[in-house]
Structure 1
Amino acid sequence: METSDPQPNAGQANEPVIDTLENEKTAEVQTSGVLRIKERFILTAVKRVIQPQFLAEEDKDKLTTEDEYLPPDKKVKLSKSEKKKLSGRNKKRPRIIKVPRSEKLCPFLKDITAGEDAAKKCQYPGCSFLHDVDAYLQRKPANIGGTCYNFETFGKCSSGLTCRFGSSHISEKNYNVVNPEMWEKHSEVQHYSNSLAKEVQHSLWKHKYNFEKSEEALRQVTQAKIEANEVKSGAIGPVIDSMDREKRVDWKGKLYLAPLTTVGNLPFRRICKKFGADITCGEMAVAANILQGKKEEWALLRRHESEDIFGVQASSSLPGTSRFLLVLLCGNNAKVMTRCAQVIQEQTEVDFVDINMGCPIDLIYRQGGGSALLRRHSMLETMCKSMKQVLEVPLTLKMRTAIYQGKNVAHNLIPKAVTWGVDAITLHGRSKEQRYTKLADWAYIEECAKLAAPIPLIGNGDILSSEDAWSHLENSSVAGLMIARGALIKPWIFTEIKERRDWDISSHERLDILQEYVNFGLEHWGSDTEGVEKTRRFLLEWLSFLHRYVPVGILERPPQHINARPPPYQGRDELETLFSSPSCAAWIKITEMLLGPVQSDFQFLPKHKANAWG
């Protein structure tokens, strides 16, 4: 919905706001990379100060100003060298601290309903959860208030007595109230799929899962490689044609939400589906952890019923390593990936499986993962061909243009991938070295799209408007578009593209989107304290991108471009100004509007050190 451009309130432009940068620019003085804002919205001479609670301990030690912890009105400006020390990313961010089982109410007791005997609910004598309902309720944090989304939507809240919105469905006698008609209606519908069955988990734990199909596929590909080497042929066996048994995906003209680690969670994907995303993909899952039956990794494969074209992205790792340490070994990488592909094929409902070879993180690259696969063609060929033999859904590759800037290699790899039986390729128009700096090279993407024929190539990079999208769709050979940061900054971009317009979305419409995300989060992670805080943290991660959106109505020359940054500005109302803040303190305030006050011991370290300014 288009909104007007009201004149800001008198005096508002000179009031300090949370997002603060010292700036003396006017609308007439614009430099390259600076987004042009209508003059009446630009803030001038705005001071900024450091908020120590959003700094890592090591960065606090780097500050040399003696007054760094003084109240904001007594702060002095940091020197240029001190500011430089507080740039870059926070690499050792704290994880969510789980509540001990002894402090959590037993799952058998939390949803006890009227007429049930609490003493007979839990059948495990050695259960380590809390079983004293009264004691739990006495120490339980106060209800947040408002109605429980899960109860209002489904007729029953699975968090029961632990729900932080429990006033909607907890009786005076401490029973979980259920609406029988609503619950019966929804319990008959499968809203989610790809859960890990206990028997499958046990077979993976005990190494009893039948991988004969994977072993045979690897044997055939390896034997073909030996024979090819003997005759000095460049090919490894015949091209695998599985079209007769494969479920096909129509990629033409589709808008593909990129797989996004951490922020690309299921609630966020649901938001993007509502705005028109055609294809979604789960967060990157580590193959070794899938094969170990780890619940947290299998959770990344979960699919909502709204995700009609859904894939999973896999990469391999040594058992026991972090999700972010993707170690590719020459001997067993193909084996791990092929086994993972078999399990995914047999135990989940997906429309395609994607191999991640675009990750630019140095640690992953040094271990041979992510972008390093761009130079490991033999390994990748074995992996693709063996995975193709065990999959009945398309196999796709997500890659970058190169490892080093100016030394493109994707054009050498893509024709080979076509002969390996890969069904589609997504190409991000930057090198590993570039990460997300400079502009994506769409001329090179076009060159590669022609080389990829007859398989589809999906272009990725710098799409933040309908204008960007249609320029690429209509003037290049790409089959479709992948959108990553653009969707995080403005998830309604899918609607803009399909309706060919710039949407001047209001601040209250944006707040409604956040409320819906919170509802989806409470449904997905639960509405108990743990679920509320998990939803809050993922919302904070998303807000670190959302604040970069600049409303259409205050732009001097729409649309916004992803590589341009605005000068400090105020919105057309107080809420719009709050949404524009790059300060972590402002993001926490937004979460408190939706999820209640943070706890006294709450801590959140933003991904980027710059967001500690306030």
Structure 2
Amino acid sequence: MSKEEKKKQRGSNKGRRWAKMHEELDLCWRFADTGTCEFGEKCRYSHDIPGYMAAKPKDIYFPRSSDLSAHPPHVAAPLEVGETAASVGSSIFCPVHDKIGTCRQGIKCRFLGGHGKKMEDGTYSILEGPEKKLTTAATPAELNYMPGSVLKLLRTKKYPFPITQQYLKALQNTKDTNESGVEAEAGTVVDTRRAMMTRDPGQEALNTPGFCSAPVPPELEPAPGKSSMAEAEAQMDTPDVPFRFQEKRRLNWSDKTYLAPLTTVGNLPFRRLCAGWGADITCGEMGLARSFLAGSKEEWSLVRRHPSEKMFGVQVAGSKPALLVPTAEVIARECKDVDFVDLNCGCPIDLVYQTGSGSALLDAPGKLSRILIGMNRALGEIPVTVKLRTGVKEGKNTSHKLMPRIGEECNVAAMTLHGRTRQQRYTRLADWSYIKECVDAVRAAESDKALPRVPIFGGGDCYSSRDYWEDVQNTGVDGVMVARGALIKPWIFTEIKERREWDISSRERLEGLRKFAEYGLDHFGTDTAGVNTTRRYLCEAISFQYRYVPLGLLEVLPGRINDRAPLFRGRDELETLLASPDSRDWVKISEMFLGPAPEGWTFTPKHKSNAYGGEEGQG
């Protein structure tokens, strides 16, 4: 095999596939919750409740915090649990119903014993807690829920994009003008950050050739933020006054901790867990602009936010203004609980890079500027941030030239810089000396031209409180975006805020996994499909957390992200279990909270070295 072929086969299970697990008799969820279904006999799902209850798996006992122990069996479940399909009146409780007084899964809930009562005629009555329902009605469980009507408009290409149409038209006019050799009229270029800061909105701005050269007449620019389609369409004829730079929300990120957007593992339950441990800024998983515009339900689920997230952003990836500007316009109009939108210019994976998205934008500054300017216009008062890498090719760093330009001319509200090139991916240590060079270049440009200070966060190899504060002190960044350090140690945000290394106990770590399972059930659902989706992501989380080496076993403090400890026996049996690299043990831990894994369900670890014994080691 060639070197490239060997590289493709090394290290990871490339073809992981995840299938949803359904019950033998798929009961209609509407009928299970309310006892009625608008489709009646035409419904594709079953309405046979007695038959469903006869085939339904046994209830699952979800442990409370008091049930956990560092000694086997680690979870103390009552003896009567699991005797019947719905152990009504037993110690079983539904974690969702217990918090909000209702459960949207109804009879399909795998914790039915906590809120279901079997009647004399064999039917089941769903119990509700009216007091809890009243107290939680004003605070929805999740925010930024995208209605099906909007998704349908996107899928059928009927969603109105007044701002995008005007902006792309202006871009095309500029292109035609430049090709014909005719100069643009004075006073029409208002795209640079300097022009937006002036008191006179009609003052002519400087235009950098080949970079921020996308003039849009301000009288053609409609304002975003309208909630109805009729008002959005009305913007085409009677546009509102456009937002100026001073009206943009300012991001005050000083002394804030930032959880990086993490594909697959940075889901809402994990972000809730990190927010509970002190993460101030969270960002959703990277979403593809093309899938957003196609009305993908899965893609739009990435913008969901929990109320516990103090400052929340949405990250998007795309290759051109025609994709990213309309995506920003939809987000601005439909998602009212978004604090910022982050443009991904750092994703190194081939599938993204080869389409011209992610880190490919680092080598296309002209296109990048047009994207940022258009997104700023479409988002209105919502600020735009950028996530970058040091460059594309190893040894050819370019961000020290790019960052001052986009900071000055493209009106970005904040920048984050990962200290590796696209070619390095996640190998070698992050180059923090170069991050300092980039910070100095941006601060010098701001000082020379009297520009507002833009927050800059660095990233790479932050695994402890000492790493964090040394990086902040030595480089001048406003903070450090924590990624893999948070996957291995979700409690790292507590360490950072308290400026200490936490020798967390195995019992406390198990409580963190219990909370993750609880948040997963709340997000994905308490039916069979939701339980096993939660199980999959819980195993993904453990696949990182097992790498944590307890402080009591280290010879030198703090531990480093690239340290690999030899096999060790923990201070108790639970600590040893949590450090197991065998994926079968990860599934065993998930069964403490989510019951036995169903027959046919498997967890394929990302790294082959964790699948001991080949196929039989995959859960």
Query: Same-fold call, TM > 0.5?
Result: yes
Q: Which moved more, 1:376-385 or 1:426-435?
A: 376-385
When residues 131 and 410 of structure 1 are mapped into structure 2, their CA distance, relative to the original with a 3 A threshold, is same
Select 1:110's aligned residue among 10, 32, 48: 32
Contact 1:247 1:393 in 2 (8 A): yes
> SS at 1:304's partner residue?
coil
Query: How many angstroms apart in 2 are the aligned matches of 1:226 and 1:499?
Result: 57
When residues 124 and 246 of structure 1 are mapped into structure 2, their CA distance, relative to the original with a 3 A threshold, is farther
Query: How many angstroms apart in 2 are the aligned matches of 1:261 and 1:103?
Result: 33
Q: Which moved more, 1:428-437 or 1:229-238?
A: 229-238
Q: Does 1:341 align with 2:328?
A: yes
Q: How does 1:45-84 map to 2 (within 5 A)?
A: none
Structure with greater contact order relative to length (CA < 8 Å, sep ≥ 6): 1
Select 2:267's aligned residue among 265, 281, 284: 265
Amino acid at match of 2:275: K
Deviation for aligned residue 1:151: 1.4
Determine the structure 2 residue equivalent to 1:384. 372
Q: Deviations over 1:274-319 (max 9, x none)?
A: 1111100011111122122221111100011111211000113xxx
Q: Which moved more, 1:135-144 or 1:179-188?
A: 179-188
TM-score normalised over the length of structure 2:
0.79
Determine the structure 1 residue equivalent to 2:18. 95
> SS at 1:597's partner residue?
coil
Q: Deviations over 1:228-286 (max 9, x none)?
A: 67469344157998333322211223211000011000010001111111100011111
Pairs aligned (count): 510
Deviation for aligned residue 1:577: 0.4
Select 1:172's aligned residue among 118, 131, 143: 118
Q: How does 1:567-606 map to 2 (within 5 A)?
A: 567-606=566-605
Determine the structure 2 residue equivalent to 1:467. 466
Query: How many angstroms apart in 1 are the aligned matches of 2:545 and 2:282?
Result: 19
Query: How many angstroms apart in 2 are the aligned matches of 1:420 and 1:124?
Result: 55
Select 1:423's aligned residue among 373, 395, 413: 413
> SS at 2:520's partner residue?
helix
Q: Deviations over 1:344-387 (max 9, x none)?
A: 00000211111111111123222222111111112111111111
Determine the structure 2 residue equivalent to 1:27. none
Q: Deviations over 1:173-217 (max 9, x none)?
A: 212111122122212322321111233223223322111111112
Query: How many angstroms apart in 2 are the aligned matches of 1:213 and 1:400?
Result: 30
When residues 245 and 217 of structure 1 are mapped into structure 2, their CA distance, relative to the original with a 3 A threshold, is farther
Query: How many angstroms apart in 1 are the aligned matches of 2:502 and 2:339?
Result: 31
Amino acid at match of 1:245: E
Determine the structure 1 residue equivalent to 2:88. none
Query: How many angstroms apart in 1 are the aligned matches of 2:131 and 2:424?
Result: 56
Deviation for aligned residue 1:567: 1.1
Q: Deviations over 1:514-567 (max 9, x none)?
A: 101111110111111101000000011111110111111111112110011111
Determine the structure 2 residue equivalent to 1:243. 245
Select 1:183's aligned residue among 116, 133, 140: 133
Query: How many angstroms apart in 2 are the aligned matches of 1:545 and 1:383?
Result: 35
> SS at 1:386's partner residue?
helix
Query: How many angstroms apart in 2 are the aligned matches of 1:246 and 1:106?
Result: 46
Deviation for aligned residue 1:220: 2.9
Amino acid at match of 1:129: Y
Q: Deviations over 1:312-341 (max 9, x none)?
A: 00113xxxxxxxxxxx3xxxx211110000
Q: Deviations over 1:141-165 (max 9, x none)?
A: 1111232101111111111111111
Q: How does 1:371-410 map to 2 (within 5 A)?
A: 371-391=359-379, 392-410=381-399
Q: Does 1:279 align with 2:281?
A: yes
Query: How many angstroms apart in 1 are the aligned matches of 2:256 and 2:209?
Result: 38
Determine the structure 1 residue equivalent to 2:199. none
Q: Deviations over 1:466-510 (max 9, x none)?
A: 000010112222122100000000111000011010100000000
Q: Which moved more, 1:387-396 or 1:220-229?
A: 220-229
Query: How many angstroms apart in 2 are the aligned matches of 1:369 and 1:396?
Result: 16
Q: Which runs of 5+ in 2 are unaligned?
A: 1-5, 62-91, 184-207, 219-242, 444-452, 614-619
Q: Does 1:163 align with 2:109?
A: yes
Q: Which moved more, 1:89-98 or 1:335-344?
A: 89-98
Amino acid at match of 1:186: T
C-alpha RMSD over aligned residues: 2.2
Q: How does 1:227-242 map to 2 (within 5 A)?
A: 230=181, 233-234=209-210, 235-237=212-214, 242=244
Deviation for aligned residue 1:452: 2.4
Query: How many angstroms apart in 2 are the aligned matches of 1:226 and 1:355?
Result: 28
Contact 2:214 2:370 in 1 (8 A): no
Determine the structure 1 residue equivalent to 2:71. none
Select 2:338's aligned residue among 327, 335, 350: 350
Amino acid at match of 1:218: L
Determine the structure 1 residue equivalent to 2:610. 611
Query: How many angstroms apart in 1 are the aligned matches of 2:563 and 2:556?
Result: 12
Determine the structure 2 residue equivalent to 1:151. 97
> SS at 1:430's partner residue?
coil
Query: How many angstroms apart in 1 are the aligned matches of 2:436 and 2:326?
Result: 34
Contact 1:338 1:390 in 2 (8 A): yes
Amino acid at match of 1:169: H
Determine the structure 2 residue equivalent to 1:321. none
When residues 191 and 85 of structure 1 are mapped into structure 2, their CA distance, relative to the original with a 3 A threshold, is closer
Query: How many angstroms apart in 2 are the aligned matches of 1:364 and 1:336?
Result: 14
Query: How many angstroms apart in 2 are the aligned matches of 1:186 and 1:582?
Result: 41
Q: Does 1:129 align with 2:45?
A: yes
> SS at 2:116's partner residue?
coil
Contact 1:547 1:581 in 2 (8 A): yes
TM-score normalised over the length of structure 1:
0.80
Q: Does 1:370 align with 2:346?
A: no
> SS at 1:303's partner residue?
coil
Contact 1:228 1:237 in 2 (8 A): no
Deviation for aligned residue 1:417: 1.1
> SS at 1:244's partner residue?
helix
When residues 413 and 225 of structure 1 are mapped into structure 2, their CA distance, relative to the original with a 3 A threshold, is farther
When residues 613 and 86 of structure 1 are mapped into structure 2, their CA distance, relative to the original with a 3 A threshold, is farther
Select 2:347's aligned residue among 359, 363, 377: 359
Query: How many angstroms apart in 2 are the aligned matches of 1:506 and 1:215?
Result: 56
Amino acid at match of 2:385: T
Determine the structure 2 residue equivalent to 1:34. none
Q: Identity, % of aligned pairs?
A: 45
Determine the structure 1 residue equivalent to 2:159. 209
Contact 1:286 1:314 in 2 (8 A): yes
Query: How many angstroms apart in 2 are the aligned matches of 1:380 and 1:468?
Result: 32
> SS at 2:343's partner residue?
strand
Contact 1:228 1:236 in 2 (8 A): no
Query: How many angstroms apart in 2 are the aligned matches of 1:210 and 1:539?
Result: 39
Determine the structure 2 residue equivalent to 1:139. 55
Determine the structure 2 residue equivalent to 1:24. none
Determine the structure 1 residue equivalent to 2:240. none
Contact 2:251 2:413 in 1 (8 A): no
Query: How many angstroms apart in 2 are the aligned matches of 1:415 and 1:228?
Result: 26
Query: How many angstroms apart in 2 are the aligned matches of 1:228 and 1:388?
Result: 23
Q: Does 1:195 align with 2:183?
A: no
Deviation for aligned residue 1:224: 4.3
When residues 288 and 367 of structure 1 are mapped into structure 2, their CA distance, relative to the original with a 3 A threshold, is closer
Deviation for aligned residue 1:462: 0.4
Query: How many angstroms apart in 2 are the aligned matches of 1:425 and 1:546?
Result: 28
Query: How many angstroms apart in 1 are the aligned matches of 2:568 and 2:107?
Result: 45
